[in-house]
């Protein structure tokens, strides 16, 4: 059975995540309202612009229901901007944060758009490197004790997991490699 996995569809890489989740064995569903959260086994918070997505969550009255659902056990995977939204804090600025992942994130840590890069990354639990695409990517500046660092670049954590919450600073949906989406789909079962 294909678990129903939502993709927050307010802004960002929605189509790409839907395709990756389909390839990974899930039944992806766009999430634009509180009603769309019903019956989900997990949710992906895509890359995009974290401040904008946070403001849209508030505007569409999704912020608190989404936070409560994840805090209550709904599996969540945040990529890039989604990692920022899941965090308890950011090193600079002020924006809505769900606060369900015990990390403090540095936004745009690797630089501006023209400093984006790709790298083969060793990820805990994968038997071979994952080709990671970093676009104006954050990194984890501080992680709580319960947070497992799954991958790092130059000693900066770029993929973490805490229980049912997974986050990566890079964009797995922009590759043909569905292993991380498969990992997340397994987390929803």
In the chain, where are the structural domains located? 4-188
Question: In the 8-state DSSP scheme, what is residue 12?
Answer: S
- Residue 148 gets the label, from left (phi > 0), alpha (psi -120 to 50) or beta, of beta
Of 176, 168, 187, nearest to 20 (Cα)? 176
Of 48, 49, 4, nearest to 26 (Cα)? 4
Contact 48, 13 (CB under 8 A): yes
Q: What is the pLDDT of residue 111?
A: 78
pLDDT tens across the length of the chain (189 residues): 899 999 999 998 899 999 999 999 999 999 999 999 999 999 999 998 899 999 999 999 999 999 999 999 999 999 999 999 999 999 998 899 999 999 999 998 887 777 889 999 999 999 999 999 999 999 999 999 999 999 999 999 999 999 999 999 999 999 999 999 999 999 998
Q: What is the pLDDT of residue 112?
A: 77
Class of 4-188 in CATH = alpha beta
Contact 103, 150 (CB under 8 A): no
CA 180 – CA 10 distance, rounded (Å): 22
Active site residues: 80, 171, 173
Q: What is the dihedral of CA 137, 143, 149, 153, to 10 degrees?
A: 40
How many C-alpha atoms does 43 have within 13 Å on its Cβ side? Answer: 28
CA 34 – CA 65 distance, rounded (Å): 7
Q: How many helices (H) and strands (E) does the chain have?
A: 5, 12
CA 189 – CA 185 distance, rounded (Å): 7
CA 85 – CA 167 distance, rounded (Å): 10
**H helices within 60-170, ranges in order?**
63-71, 81-86
């Amino acid at each position: 059975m294909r678990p129903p996995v939502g993709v927050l569809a307010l802004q960002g890489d929605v189509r790409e995540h839907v395709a990756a989740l389909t390839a990974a064995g899930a039944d992806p569903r766009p999430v634009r309202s509180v009603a769309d959260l019903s019956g989900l086994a997990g949710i992906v918070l895509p890359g995009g612009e974290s401040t904008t997505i946070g403001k849209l969550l508030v505007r569409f009255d999704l912020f608190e229901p989404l936070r409560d659902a994840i805090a209550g056990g709904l599996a969540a995977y945040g990529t890039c901007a989604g990692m920022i939204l899941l965090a308890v804090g950011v090193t600079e600025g002020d924006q809505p944060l769900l606060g369900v992942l015990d990390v403090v994130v540095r936004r745009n840590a690797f630089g501006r758009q023209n400093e984006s890069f790709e790298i083969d990354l060793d990820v805990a639990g994968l038997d071979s490197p994952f080709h990671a695409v970093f676009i104006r990517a954050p990194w984890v500046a501080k992680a709580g004790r319960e947070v497992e660092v799954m991958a790092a670049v130059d000693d900066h954590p770029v993929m973490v997991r805490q229980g049912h919450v997974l986050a990566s600073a890079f964009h797995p949906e922009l590759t043909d490699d569905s292993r991380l989406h498969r990992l997340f789909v397994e987390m929803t079962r």
